[in-house]
Structure 1
Amino acid sequence: MNLQYNQAYPGIDDLRRKAKSKIPRFAFEYLDGGCNEDVNLHRNTEELRDVQLNPYYLNGHEGSNMTVELFGKTYQAPFGVAPVGLQGLIWPNSPKILAKAAYEHQVPFILSTVSTSSIEEIAKITNGDFWFQLYHPAEEKLRDDIIRRLKEVGCKVLVILSDVPTFGFRPRDIRNGLAMPPRMTLKNIVQTIGRPHWALQTLMHGTPNFATMQPYMPKGLDMKQLGAFMDRTFSGRLSMERIAAIRHQWDGKLVIKGIATPEDAQLAINLGADGIIVSNHGGRQLDSAESAIASLKNLVSFKDQIKIMMDSGIRSGADVARALAVGADFTFLGRTFMYSTAALGNEGGQHAMAILKRQLKQVMEQVNCSQVSELHRHLIR
């Protein structure tokens, strides 16, 4: 795979700045912000970057291999694309751009229930080689039909979201009219006019919508009715009974995302989950929570019983190395891929994949680490 990237944007901060200049403020703040006062948003990355690695310069080294075996499949890097809701609002067509890049780079792409491309569209791009994150519906009939669709397209990994029992309190989104129900204010219209490239691309690709949910929506909903429909449809809180019901009918790999405590990790194991993603929803749900890397440190003792993955706060290849050194089997990034796509459009997915691989490999070679599974030996405890 070609790892050439746009040298005008060699760092993730470069991509973030470019994205901010290209998309309307309401879209950027939806992507970039956390909840309440953004305390946990910043804590995630700050505490992750406190992790330090030991380099061993005098040992022989024959190269670094980034491949990872996960759920019976070999991936070409230990990171994937995390699920992001309303991706098409941030940049038109972005779920397809990122799914294509992930497939070509042989890393996993997770489609969110509330993203803007459908199960079937992403399955076509990836030949069914993608993961799906389920926001548990209030009605079992809807849940079962989504699972049926996943089976029909060959999806092998189902991720159940556990950390959204209620919508996070996000002041920016409320001010910008992106709460439920959403609304387009005069301020948002002015912001859109000031971003003509984004506006033109949005016009070409159509208004973003919850594509996977389209078959279940009544026709002709206005914005207020759409908000009420989504709020009513996803009012269901995850429970042990609901997880058990999904485990009974899903014969693929089952992952629970949003785990932060040993108690929930043990329950996930007891319920037959194959993996957990240690996550606090990127700091978007509970501002008073601990950082994802702090949670991970308390959960690595379960590694012999279940696959332990992590997202939240990971921005770069060096951050990926830090999380793996602490004990994650695999990692996912959300904002990084969206910054790149908003900054560079159709080339954004490829650029982010290339830069993350280059960054991670540089760290591994610098510390004299041959395999991803050996990064823990370099952790300064």
Structure 2
Amino acid sequence: MTIKYNSSYPSIEDLKKKAQQKIPRFAFEYLDGGCNEDVNLHKNTTELRQVELKPYYLENYRTPDMRTELFGHVYDAPFGIAPVGLQGLIWPGSPEILARAAFEHNIPFVLSTVSTSSIEKIGEITEGRAWFQLYHPAEASVRDSIVKRAAAANYPVLVLLCDVPSFGFRPRDIRNGLAMPPRMTLRNILQIMGKPHWAINTLIHGQPSFATMQPYMPKGLNMKQLGAFMNKTFSGRLNEERIKPIRDLWKGKIVLKGVASEEDAAMALKLGLDGIIVSNHGGRQLDAAQSSIKSMPPIVEKYKGKLTIMMDSGVRSGPDVARVLASGADFAFLGRSFMYGVAALGKEGGNHTISMLKTQLQQVMEQVCCTTVKGFPNHIIP
């Protein structure tokens, strides 16, 4: 595919500014915010950007190759689209837009259990190439049903989320009525009226809902009842006993997302999982935690080659992807960057953001004289 993007928006910051102009404030703050005082939200990117790369200008060089093999599939770039909840709230149809773009560009798209498109629809769009992230249900029957649906839709990778034992304390969402149970305030209604493009598209597309969870939800729930249902349905704390039956049931690859310690990485290896995503949920769960990039070194030192090691949280740009790879990760995921792209540019947002990131990453590879993705660690400055 030709790498082509909208030159009016050549950076993620441009997309972020445009997104803020186009969507209601409550939707933007849900996307953009962290938890508590946003300390870890800002540390994620700030500390990642302290990673420096060494260029070698006089070495022989050939065209860089961004292709990356992951779980038996060769992707065209070493980054993918991270799972994001309530995507349709931010822009109508955004999971479908991003899944389609990911499929066309041959990168992974990860669908969240609490996104606004179903397992089956995303599976169809991606011809069975999407990954699925499981929020652990409290009931084994619901868990097994969801896992079997993902298998039937040919998802190759199941991502187990381990960093949401409780919902994050997010002051913006509480003020905006997006905590559980959700509520629609007069202020939210006025914000919607001020964003007619978003409002019209939402009206056409329909009110966003937890599409994957629809078969398990009683009909006719109001917002308060919906909140109670979600709280009752999910039990986010994972342990060995809860992971083992999933490992037995799922025949594909399993990745543990939310790893921030050597101990959890050791457990993933012990349980026969295939990979981990070092992550702090984009700074949305524990404000007193380390940034993801700070959690990486001891995990990479002990488990590189034993587990596929990936990372998200704080990754915003092509140079950020390069920093993650240079730090020892096999792959990077971005969440907010893609949602800014869709909120800013609608149906073109997915293709634009992927193309821009590819262009940025290629420039870094050319600049430092790195011909393959696996060569990035040779360029890190300790």
Query: TM-score scaled to structure 2, two decimals?
Result: 0.99
Contact 2:166 2:236 in 1 (8 A): no
Does 2:368 align with 1:367? yes
Amino acid at match of 1:76: D
Amino acid at match of 1:41: L
Partner of 2:56: 56
Partner of 2:290: 290
Partner of 1:14: 14
Worse-matched range after superposition: 358-367 or 293-302? 293-302
Amino acid at match of 1:378: H
Secondary structure (helix, strand or coil) at the match of 1:44 reads helix
Could you list the per-position Cα deviations for residues 51-102 of structure 1 after superposition, in whole angstroms to 9, with x for gaps in the alignment? 0000000001011000000000000000000000000000000000000000
Please show how residues 169-248 of structure 1 align to structure 2 within 5 Å: 169-248=169-248
Partner of 1:30: 30
Partner of 1:321: 322
**How far is the alpha carbon of 1:360 from its aligned partner?**
0.4
Could you list the per-position Cα deviations for residues 162-190 of structure 1 after superposition, in whole angstroms to 9, with x for gaps in the alignment? 00000000000000000001000000000
Does 2:305 align with 1:304? yes
Partner of 1:337: 338
Q: Percent identity?
A: 66
Partner of 2:117: 117
Could you list the per-position Cα deviations for residues 131-178 of structure 1 after superposition, in whole angstroms to 9, with x for gaps in the alignment? 000000000000000011111111110000000000000000000000
Does 2:102 align with 1:99? no
Could you list the per-position Cα deviations for residues 26-50 of structure 1 after superposition, in whole angstroms to 9, with x for gaps in the alignment? 0000000000000000000000000
Please show how residues 347-358 of structure 1 align to structure 2 within 5 Å: 347-358=348-359
Structure 1 runs, 4 residues or longer, greater than 6 Å off: none
Query: CA separation in 2, counterparts of 1:217 and 1:70?
Result: 35
Gaps of 5+ in 1: none
Does 2:74 align with 1:74? yes
Query: CA separation in 2, counterparts of 1:315 and 1:39?
Result: 17
**How far is the alpha carbon of 1:236 from its aligned partner?**
4.4
Query: CA separation in 2, counterparts of 1:363 and 1:299?
Result: 25
Amino acid at match of 1:310: M
Gaps of 5+ in 2: none
Secondary structure (helix, strand or coil) at the match of 1:159 reads strand
Query: CA separation in 1, counterparts of 2:236 and 2:122?
Result: 25
Number of matched residues?
381
**How far is the alpha carbon of 1:213 from its aligned partner?**
0.2
Secondary structure (helix, strand or coil) at the match of 1:277 reads strand
Query: TM-score scaled to structure 1, two decimals?
Result: 0.99
Query: CA separation in 2, counterparts of 1:273 and 1:118?
Result: 25
Amino acid at match of 2:379: H
Amino acid at match of 2:322: A
Query: CA separation in 2, counterparts of 1:310 and 1:269?
Result: 17
Query: CA separation in 2, counterparts of 1:11 and 1:155?
Result: 31
Contact 2:162 2:236 in 1 (8 A): no
**How far is the alpha carbon of 1:235 from its aligned partner?**
2.8
**How far is the alpha carbon of 1:249 from its aligned partner?**
1.0
Root-mean-square deviation over aligned CA pairs: 0.5
Partner of 2:45: 45
Query: CA separation in 2, counterparts of 1:234 and 1:170?
Result: 19
Query: CA separation in 2, counterparts of 1:277 and 1:207?
Result: 31
Partner of 1:143: 143
Worse-matched range after superposition: 242-251 or 100-109? 242-251
Query: CA separation in 1, counterparts of 2:50 and 2:105?
Result: 29
Secondary structure (helix, strand or coil) at the match of 2:50 reads coil
Secondary structure (helix, strand or coil) at the match of 1:34 reads coil
Worse-matched range after superposition: 141-150 or 233-242? 233-242
Amino acid at match of 2:233: T
Query: CA separation in 1, counterparts of 2:12 and 2:236?
Result: 36
Partner of 1:265: 265
Amino acid at match of 2:307: I
Secondary structure (helix, strand or coil) at the match of 2:218 reads coil
Amino acid at match of 1:20: Q
Query: CA separation in 2, counterparts of 1:130 and 1:51?
Result: 30
Query: CA separation in 2, counterparts of 1:80 and 1:225?
Result: 35
CA distance change for structure 1 residues 236 and 52 in 2, over 3 Å: closer, same or farther? closer
Query: CA separation in 1, counterparts of 2:12 and 2:273?
Result: 33
CA distance change for structure 1 residues 236 and 321 in 2, over 3 Å: closer, same or farther? closer
**How far is the alpha carbon of 1:297 from its aligned partner?**
1.5
Amino acid at match of 2:119: I
Query: CA separation in 1, counterparts of 2:276 and 2:56?
Result: 32
Query: CA separation in 2, counterparts of 1:101 and 1:279?
Result: 24
Query: CA separation in 1, counterparts of 2:28 and 2:236?
Result: 28
Query: CA separation in 1, counterparts of 2:227 and 2:71?
Result: 37
Query: CA separation in 2, counterparts of 1:369 and 1:238?
Result: 39
Amino acid at match of 2:259: I
Secondary structure (helix, strand or coil) at the match of 1:299 reads helix
Amino acid at match of 1:376: P
